Amino acid sequence: MAETVLESQPDLMLDLDRSAQGDLRTEEMLVNMGPQHPSTHGVLRIVLRTDGEMVLEAIPHIGYLHRCAEKIGENLQPYQFIPYTDRMDYLAGMNNNQGYALAVERLCGIQVPPRGQAIRVIFAELNRIASHLVSLGCYGLDMGAFTPFLYCFREREMILDLFEAACGARLTYSYLTIGGAHDDLPDGWIDRCREFLDYFGTKIDDYNNLLSFNHIFVKRTSKVGIISLQDALAWGLTGPCLRASGIRWDLRKVLPYDGYEKYDFDVPIGRTGGNGEIPHGVIVGDSWSRYYVRVLEMTQSVRIIRQALDQLPSGDFRAPKCTNLKLPANEVYVEVEGARGQLGFLITGDGSAIPSRVKARGPCFCNLSITTHVCRNVLLADIPAIIGSIDVVMGEVDR
């Protein structure tokens, strides 16, 4: 019967012959991923050029969340611009507040009191943990693991409760401001923070058991989206994305600010698997390494917060007269180690109360730029693994 069908359809017979000889051609297709796709972590559109299940090229299209933040900064006094920094990386608003405040302070020669510096370190590290928890939970969700998402957001809510007790806000804080902190720590806050640290320290093992060392998760993320150290440096990657490629570069260690030189902590980097702690098959610079560096960073942030609480000095929490400043006719550029990398602010003064130029250097913008380079000739299912491991926040990319 089969022979009769083939004899009656000579064109089909010809196609089968071509397929056997390897001459069968497929047609490339352009596929839009986003700008509402959950795996893009925001309003990011990625145009994929595919050949079957293979992605030949991935081109990110940004700008959907552009809000003219820098131009707004050139029309407001510095203390008025602090709330706008929260809206950049809206998962790590404290770190953004800190970066801009440090730039203004350096331009104007403002000295932050020791207590104000310690409060900044505590809240910056708490926000780093909260930001990494979102990254871990959502990354697991991208890979098909739902339970870790619930665990991570449970602990994040506890951090947001601490933020709310200190400044009344849970997402956009405007708490770390020019001269120090907006308010002093409320009564009982330190004890609540210590209780959270004791509780949270045991939960990292749960994340590792549920997700980090899960066989399926390791298979989906190891040897995927490998970024060599040379490529990471060439594309301007910073933060966990850079350290996962094998270099110990952290501004808190290299160029310390707000008293970070007083704290003892380690800088985790990516390592090749097979040594017991790191699963077999993991390669320095792959997607799993970028994920796991963030897990290790949370442990180090706990160490820093404990030391800051133990050494918390008394006295003023904010320098006096930090509003209605006259900005000197000078220019400064200051970077801090944010949750996603080096966040920098350039401010140019002209003697008036309003800066003549404000420029922000968002780490997510540079980290995202390597997408096209690293997403060549990979499987379609690997794209969420690669994008999720880079951990972008589009409010910071677009500004």
177: helix, strand or coil: strand
H or E stretch at 151 = helix 147-167
pLDDT band of 181, cuts 50, 70, 90? very high
Q: What is the mean pLDDT of the chain?
A: 89
pLDDT band of 13, cuts 50, 70, 90? very low
CA–centroid distance for 315 within its chain: 34
Whether 278 shows a pLDDT value over 90: the answer reads no
pTM across the whole model: 0.90
C-alpha atoms less than 13 angstroms from C-alpha of 332 in its C-beta half-sphere: 18
Question: Which two three-digit tokens encode residue 81?
Answer: 């611009």
Alpha-carbon gap, residue 96 to 338, rounded angstroms: 7
pLDDT band of 24, cuts 50, 70, 90? low
Whether 9 shows a pLDDT value over 80: the answer reads no
201: helix, strand or coil: helix
Residue 21's pLDDT is what? Answer: 53
Higher pLDDT, 5 or 144: 144
Alpha-carbon gap, residue 182 to 317, rounded angstroms: 8
Question: Any residues with CB less than 8 A from the CB of 244 and at least 6 apart, and which?
Answer: 227, 269, 270, 284, 285, 286, 289, 290, 292, 293
Phi, psi values for residue 240, rounded to 5° = -55, -35
**Pairing, β 29-33 against β 54-61:** unpaired
Residue with tokens 């145009």, as numbered in its chain? 47
Q: Which domains does the chain have, with CATH numbers?
A: 70-398 (1.10.645.10)
Strands (E), 268-380: 331-338, 341-348, 357-361, 378-379
- Per-residue pLDDT, averaged over 97-115, amounts to 94
Q: Write the CA distances from 195 to 189, 202, 344, 363, 398, integer angstroms.
A: 10, 12, 33, 32, 37
CB atoms within 10 A of CB 45: 17
Residue 193's pLDDT is what? Answer: 96
Q: Per residue in 132-180, pLDDT tens? A: 999 999 999 989 889 999 999 999 999 999 999 999 999 999 999 999 9
Q: Per residue in 64-75, pLDDT tens? A: 888 899 999 999
Whether 364 shows a pLDDT value over 80: the answer reads yes
* Cβ contact 64:41 at 8 Å: no
Q: Which residues of 186-195 are buried (b: 16+ CB within 10 A; e: fewer)?
A: eeeeeebbee
- Per-residue pLDDT, averaged over 228-233, amounts to 94
Residue 6's pLDDT is what? Answer: 38
Residue 276's pLDDT is what? Answer: 73
Whether 294 shows a pLDDT value over 90: the answer reads yes
Whether 373 shows a pLDDT value over 80: the answer reads yes
Q: Per residue in 205-222, pLDDT tens? A: 999 999 999 999 999 999
Q: Hey, what's the torsion of the CAs at 73, 77, 80, 82, to 10 degrees?
A: 60
Helix and strand numbers (H, E) in the chain are 17, 9
Among positive and negative, which fits the CA dihedral 9, 11, 13, 15? negative
